[in-house]
């Protein structure tokens, strides 16, 4: 669909070519239901003649039925397309609309205004060049205007338009407008928004939308459309930056061709230019820039290309090709800002998958430095982040990645977090900077390695991870297993939940986030002991699947033997060796697994012990059998 232009009738080929070559501006509108956001978008579509006659007729009849504008056309109805929304009178998801003028093409993401939908706004806004903040001239700057401004600056949108709307209802008063400009300017400075353009308007009446308003002759600035048609788009800015291209795939159709395909995130490339591959750091130069329409002499940001190199060097999917003269950084630990998007809260210590560019790595949120209250901009201490929560967090990865600061490059500095079990996207985040401490700590090479220790001890080191309810029999069985292994001459160590909580983890309680951290530390200790060549037996309730998965992934494949000590709650509670169930039932013990805190059963344990039927001795023997059978001892 395109706007109506005279060229369509006189020279259709010319029209199509012009349309093809026009650049594309993405913008979002922020505001609440009543600020006139939908009316504004409807007006823009109308003014660019995007509406067909029949659509117009439908709106006219709807306006009479649902509209709030009397006999006039209610443009909001064009935009609030969904019936449910219309009835509720709110916009609930991100909706994208397209329109174009002679100069440019536009995509507008219409995002909802109310607080719970922070995540929608972040989704809609992440690629926007411009944000239009709707302000009702009668009400001025509201808390939600501040909230949206904060998000807009967080996401890194470079241009903000404050659309001071409904000026017709304020008699087009310059004084009213100036007061709003003054108030907002002060606030913008505070949040660090630099490029603000104020436009007094009436979306409903059409003042200062495409043509200068006669009623506001005191205003000499740009119209909204004039602004949108001329502001620098991010793509133009990115072309001026250093070259970056995350490798989407290695294109190897035959032995003679090896190219690296992806979309250029920033910069301009030409054959002969020197590139560096990150994180490896190897260098080469561009041999060819291949596309389906033939080789190119030059390619720029946002183009998809296949690059071949002059030298045979290792490049894999997920690597980033960068300008050798102005390379990206490489690091493993970062300070990030995250918007949490899932019902289940973010917990420090838990590992997630992090997708940056085309690379997916394992990431642990080490610490929430603070959470931001987006209504007051206050920094609050937080142990976890709930849905729509925004926090500044430190993150540690299992391997170094190439990156830029998000504010320099959203493609190489923005990321999402994915839950490893459900595969849901749980957060959107931005890299603020690499932690210096991670860059100063390099892994030391040691000459005596795990293999040597393992040979010396004539055993394959591993973690035998017993999990189950309190009173299931983990400690009892773990103890027997260790005794038996010791008698066989094996080198072992028993890590017991209660014992660890007396020392290493004595600062932790039993809230979910503390349990996660408890297991993270224990996993790290177990990993060190495996590296020392030991057979580690650990006995922890470890109620959450995610943490057991984390513990498993911390060691190498085959080094983790999960043992599910399967005892029904009735039986475990009946034993109640430590009297804890009684306490929990009396309400004297909070967050007790099985009572008021969940236990997530293992689904792929290497070994399942049924203590309801099997004696402790026999359970321990079963574990030993498993170890012998699989050549650990
Ligand atoms: P956990 O470490 O899982 O909290 P404990 O080992 O401390 O559990 O306690 C389990 C209790 O159950 C012990 O008193 C143990 O003697 C008893 N028990 C009874 N049958 C079994 C069995 N088949 N396996 C392990 N323990 C059992």
Choosing from 396, 542, 568, 597, which is the catalytic residue? Answer: 542
42 labeled part of a ligand binding site: no
Evaluate: CB of 173 within 6 angstroms of ligand 1.
no
Taking CA atoms only, the protein residue closest to ligand 1 atom 27 is 473
Of 435, 427, 359, 426, residue with least CA distance to 395: 435
pLDDT of residue 72: 53
Is residue 270 a contact partner of residue 278, using CB atoms and an 8 Å limit?
no
126 as an active site residue: the answer is no
Evaluate: CB of 622 within 6 angstroms of ligand 1.
no
H-type alpha helices, 503-560: 512-531, 545-554
Q: How far is the CA of 127 from the centre of ligand 1 (A)?
A: 56
Helix (H, G, I), strand (E, B) or coil at 241: coil
Evaluate: CB of 615 within 6 angstroms of ligand 1.
yes
**CB-CB neighbours of 14 under 10 Å:** 12
- Ligand 1 pocket test, candidate residues 473, 494, 577, most atoms within 8 A of CB: 473
Evaluate: CB of 470 within 6 angstroms of ligand 1.
yes
CA distance 430 to 447: 39
Evaluate the omega torsion of the peptide bond into residue 58 and state whether it is cis, within 30 degrees of 0. Answer: no
Evaluate: CB of 494 within 6 angstroms of ligand 1.
no
Residue 631 CA: distances (Å) to CA of 124, 466, 485: 54, 19, 13
Taking CA atoms only, the protein residue closest to ligand 1 atom 12 is 473
34 labeled part of a ligand binding site: yes
Taking CA atoms only, the protein residue closest to ligand 1 atom 14 is 577
Atom of ligand 1 nearest to the CA of 577: 14
pLDDT of residue 408: 87
pLDDT of residue 440: 62
Is residue 195 a contact partner of residue 158, using CB atoms and an 8 Å limit?
yes
pLDDT of residue 387: 85
Helix (H, G, I), strand (E, B) or coil at 115: helix
Give the chain's end-to-end CA distance (angstroms, integer): 71
- Specify whether domain 450-629 bears CATH 3.40.50.300: yes
CA distance 547 to 530: 18
Evaluate: CB of 621 within 6 angstroms of ligand 1.
no
Burial environment of residue 503 by CB neighbours within 10 A (0 to 12, 13 to 18, 19 or more): exposed
Of 290, 292, 258, 287, residue with least CA distance to 273: 287
Domain at 240-323: CATH architecture? Beta Barrel (2.40)
Evaluate: CB of 414 within 6 angstroms of ligand 1.
no
470 labeled part of a ligand binding site: yes
Any idea of the CA torsion for 527, 530, 534, 535, to the nearest 10 degrees? Answer: 80
Atom of ligand 1 nearest to the CA of 612: 23
Helix (H, G, I), strand (E, B) or coil at 335: strand
292 labeled part of a ligand binding site: no
Is residue 436 a contact partner of residue 424, using CB atoms and an 8 Å limit?
no
Query: What pTM, to 2 d.p., does this model score?
Result: 0.68
Dig out the tokens for 339 from the structure: 């918007």
CA distance 135 to 142: 8
Is residue 432 a contact partner of residue 406, using CB atoms and an 8 Å limit?
yes
Label the pairing between strands 283-291 and 304-309.
antiparallel
Evaluate: CB of 492 within 6 angstroms of ligand 1.
no
pLDDT of residue 63: 57
Q: What is the CA 631 to chain-centroid distance, rounded?
A: 42
Measured in residues, the chain has a length of: 633
Of 402, 344, 403, residue with least CA distance to 545: 344
Q: How far is the CA of 606 from the centre of ligand 1 (A)?
A: 20
Dig out the tokens for 384 from the structure: 């976890």
Is residue 547 a contact partner of residue 519, using CB atoms and an 8 Å limit?
yes
Question: Residues 6 or more apart from 163 whose CB is under 8 A from it?
Answer: 40, 132, 133, 134, 135, 199, 201, 203, 224
Atom of ligand 1 nearest to the CA of 468: 3
Which residues of the chain does CATH 3.40.50.300 include?
Answer: 7-233, 450-629
For residue 289, what are the β-bridge partners? 307
CA distance 319 to 358: 8
Q: How far is the CA of 558 from the centre of ligand 1 (A)?
A: 27
The CATH superfamily holding the domain 329-440 is Translation factors (2.40.30.10)
Burial environment of residue 485 by CB neighbours within 10 A (0 to 12, 13 to 18, 19 or more): buried
Which residues of the chain does CATH 2.40.30.10 include?
Answer: 240-323, 329-440
Q: What share of the chain is helix, strand, coil (3-state, %, to 5)?
A: 30, 30, 40
Taking only Cα atoms into account, the Rg of the chain, rounded to an integer number of angstroms, comes to 31
Evaluate: CB of 477 within 6 angstroms of ligand 1.
yes
**Positions of the chain with pLDDT under 70:** 1-8, 19, 32-33, 49-95, 111-126, 437-445
CA distance 267 to 246: 13
Q: How far is the CA of 579 from the centre of ligand 1 (A)?
A: 13
Q: How far is the CA of 602 from the centre of ligand 1 (A)?
A: 19
CA distance 119 to 129: 18
Q: How far is the CA of 361 from the centre of ligand 1 (A)?
A: 39
Q: How far is the CA of 478 from the centre of ligand 1 (A)?
A: 10
Evaluate: CB of 616 within 6 angstroms of ligand 1.
yes
473 labeled part of a ligand binding site: yes
The helix (H) or strand (E) run that includes residue 285 is strand 283-291
Q: Of 3.40.50.300, 3.40.50.20, 3.40.50.2300, 3.20.20.70, which CATH number belongs to 7-233?
A: 3.40.50.300
Atom of ligand 1 nearest to the CA of 578: 7
């Amino acid at each position: 669909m395109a706007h109506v232009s005279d060229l369509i009738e006189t020279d259709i080929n010319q029209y199509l070519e012009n349309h093809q070559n026009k650049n594309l501006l993405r913008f979002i509108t922020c505001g609440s239901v009543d600020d006139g956001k939908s009316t504004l978008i409807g007006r823009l579509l109308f003014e660019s003649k995007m509406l067909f006659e029949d659509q117009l007729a439908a709106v006219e009849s709807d306006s009479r039925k649902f509209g709030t504008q009397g006999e006039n056309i209610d443009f909001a109805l064009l935009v609030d397309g969904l019936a449910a929304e219309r009835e509720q009178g709110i916009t609930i998801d991100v909706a994208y609309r397209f329109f174009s003028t002679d100069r440019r093409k536009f995509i507008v993401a219409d995002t909802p205004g109310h607080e719970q939908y922070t995540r929608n706004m972040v989704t809609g806004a992440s690629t926007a060049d411009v944000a239009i903040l709707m302000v009702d001239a009668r009400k001025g700057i509201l808390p939600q205007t501040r909230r949206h401004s904060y998000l807009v600056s967080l996401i890194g949108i470079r241009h903000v338009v404050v659309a001071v709307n409904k000026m017709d209802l304020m008699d087009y008063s310059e004084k009213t407008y100036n007061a709003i400009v003054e108030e907002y300017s002060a606030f913008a400075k505070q949040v660090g928004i630099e490029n603000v353009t104020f436009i007094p308007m009436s979306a409903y009446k059409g003042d200062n939308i495409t043509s200068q308003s006669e009623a506001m002759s005191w205003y000499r600035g740009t119209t909204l459309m004039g602004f949108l048609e001329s502001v620098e788009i991010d793509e133009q800015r990115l072309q001026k930056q250093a070259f970056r291209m995350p490798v989407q795939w290695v294109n190897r159709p035959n032995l003679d061709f090896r190219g690296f395909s992806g979309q250029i995130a920033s910069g301009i490339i030409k054959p002969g230019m020197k590139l560096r591959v990150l994180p490896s750091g190897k260098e080469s130069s561009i041999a060819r820039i291949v596309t389906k329409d033939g080789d190119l002499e030059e390619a720029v940001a946002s183009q998809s290309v296949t690059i071949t190199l002059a030298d045979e060097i290792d490049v894999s999917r997920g690597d980033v090709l960068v300008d050798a003269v102005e390379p990206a950084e490489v690091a493993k630990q970062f300070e990030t800002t995250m918007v949490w998007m899932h019902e289940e809260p973010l917990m420090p210590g838990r590992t997630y998958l992090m997708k940056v560019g085309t690379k997916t790595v394992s990431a642990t949120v080490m610490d929430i430095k603070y959470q931001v209250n987006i209504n007051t901009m206050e920094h609050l201490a937080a142990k976890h982040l709930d849905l729509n929560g925004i926090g500044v967090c430190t993150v540690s990865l299992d391997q170094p990645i190439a990156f830029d600061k998000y504010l320099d490059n959203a493609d190489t500095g923005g990321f999402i977090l994915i839950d490893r079990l459900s595969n849901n996207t749980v957060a959107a985040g931005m890299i603020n900077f690499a932690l210096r401490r991670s860059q100063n700590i390099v892994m030391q090479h040691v000459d005596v390695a795990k293999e040597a220790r393992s040979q010396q001890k004539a055993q394959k080191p591993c973690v035998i991870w017993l999990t189950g309810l309190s009173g299931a029999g983990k400690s009892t069985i773990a103890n027997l297993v260790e005794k038996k292994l010791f008698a066989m001459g094996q080198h072992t160590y028993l890590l017991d939940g209660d014992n660890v909580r007396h020392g290493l983890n004595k600062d932790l309680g039993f809230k979910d986030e503390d349990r996660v951290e408890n297991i993270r530390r224990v996993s790290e200790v177990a990993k060190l002991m495996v590296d020392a060549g030991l057979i580690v037996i650990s006995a922890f309730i470890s109620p959450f699947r995610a943490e057991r998965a984390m513990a498993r992934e911390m060691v190498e494949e085959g080094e983790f033997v999960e043992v599910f000590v399967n005892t029904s709650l009735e039986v475990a509670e009946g034993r109640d060796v430590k009297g804890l169930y009684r306490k929990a039932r009396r309400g004297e013990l909070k967050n007790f697994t099985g009572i008021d805190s969940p236990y997530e059963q293992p689904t792929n344990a290497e070994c399942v012990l049924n203590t309801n039927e099997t004696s402790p001795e026999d359970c321990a023997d079963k574990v030993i059998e498993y170890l012998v059978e699989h050549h650990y001892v």
